[in-house]
Amino acid sequence: MKKAFLIIMLLIFGAGSAFADNFGISKKDRPAESKKADKSAPSAQTSHDEIKKKIEEKKKELNGSEWEVDVTSGGKSIGKDTFTFQNSQVTCKTLSEKGYPATNYTVSIPDGGEMGTWETMQTSSKGAVMFIRAEWKEGVMRGVMSEQIEGGSKDYNFASVSKTEVPPTTEKKKEEEPAKTQEQAAAETAPDVAPFNPGTTEEKKK
């Protein structure tokens, strides 16, 4: 009898639990689950803020750097090139010579990892368009370039050979400007005086 009683109680308890799960009757009796659900929203916000912070750090890491890369096409090396990141813009030496100006670029972190990604689009003075995308971590960078030209496109790959630090901005600070000499300062502050021309005064005429 005792065994039968225990079996019946277990069945009742199991059925009641399943019934509560299906119809949500016992939510107030399950505070642990409620607390877990309440924490989900701030956790997502924290994750978003952390990713945003990492992206800003990656931007600072990239701006103020210069990368020498080996460019390949069809698996064959076609020469070296240089990417310079200054003023929050990127310049490619070879592309600049072909009429592509420096452009802004965007930075992202795929899956919130340690690898950073930057990408940009440049338009040449002749109307050609170049799409550039690359990934980097520490001193290693790999990327692709796709030049959209009339009649088709040309694709290239590049990989970093070396990385060097450069000033993050090309603007000169005031304290870096050479100091003015006393003569220059005096000339700038002296009042404008008409030059004296002998023989033109009334006294000279008399």
The count of other CB atoms within 10 Å of the CB of residue 21 is 12
Contact predicate 89/104, CB 8 Å: yes
d(CA 144, CA 121): 12
Q: Are residues 57 and 92 in the same domain?
A: no
Helix (H), strand (E) at residue 125: none
Q: Are residues 15 and 109 in the same domain?
A: no
Under DSSP, is residue 136 helix (H, G, I), strand (E, B) or coil?
strand
Strand partners, 140: 137
Fill in the amino acid letter for 74.
Answer: G
Give the mean model confidence (pLDDT) for residues 180-206: 56
Can you list the alpha helix ranges (DSSP code H) found in 81-201?
A: 93-97, 182-189
Q: Are residues 56 and 136 in the same domain?
A: no
Domain boundary among 45, 61, 77: 61
Q: Are residues 29 and 67 in the same domain?
A: no
Residue percentage of the chain with pLDDT more than 90: 50
Q: Are residues 96 and 159 in the same domain?
A: yes
Does the pTM surpass 0.85? The reply is: no
Q: Is residue 184 part of a domain?
A: no
Q: Are residues 144 and 124 in the same domain?
A: yes
Q: Is residue 196 part of a domain?
A: no
Number of domain units in the chain: 2
Q: Are residues 79 and 48 in the same domain?
A: no
* Range of the structural domain that residue 29 is part of: 2-61
Q: Is residue 181 part of a domain?
A: no
Can you list the alpha helix ranges (DSSP code H) found in the chain?
A: 2-23, 31-62, 93-97, 182-189, 202-205
Contact predicate 86/170, CB 8 Å: yes
d(CA 8, CA 39): 38
- pLDDT tens digit sequence for 105-151: 999 999 878 899 999 999 999 889 999 999 999 899 999 999 998 88
Between 8 and 160, residue with greater pLDDT: 160
Q: Are residues 143 and 67 in the same domain?
A: yes
Q: Is residue 41 part of a domain?
A: yes
- pLDDT tens digit sequence for 42-82: 566 768 888 899 999 999 999 999 999 999 999 999 999 99
| Total number of residues shown for the chain | 206
Domain boundary among 10, 36, 61: 61
Q: Is residue 110 part of a domain?
A: yes
Please name which of 192, 169, 159 lies closest in space to residue 72, comparing C-alpha atoms: 159
Q: Is residue 69 part of a domain?
A: yes
Q: Is the pLDDT of residue 192 over 70?
A: no
Domain boundary among 39, 61, 83: 61
Characterize the bridge pairing of strands 106-108 and 103-104.
Answer: unpaired
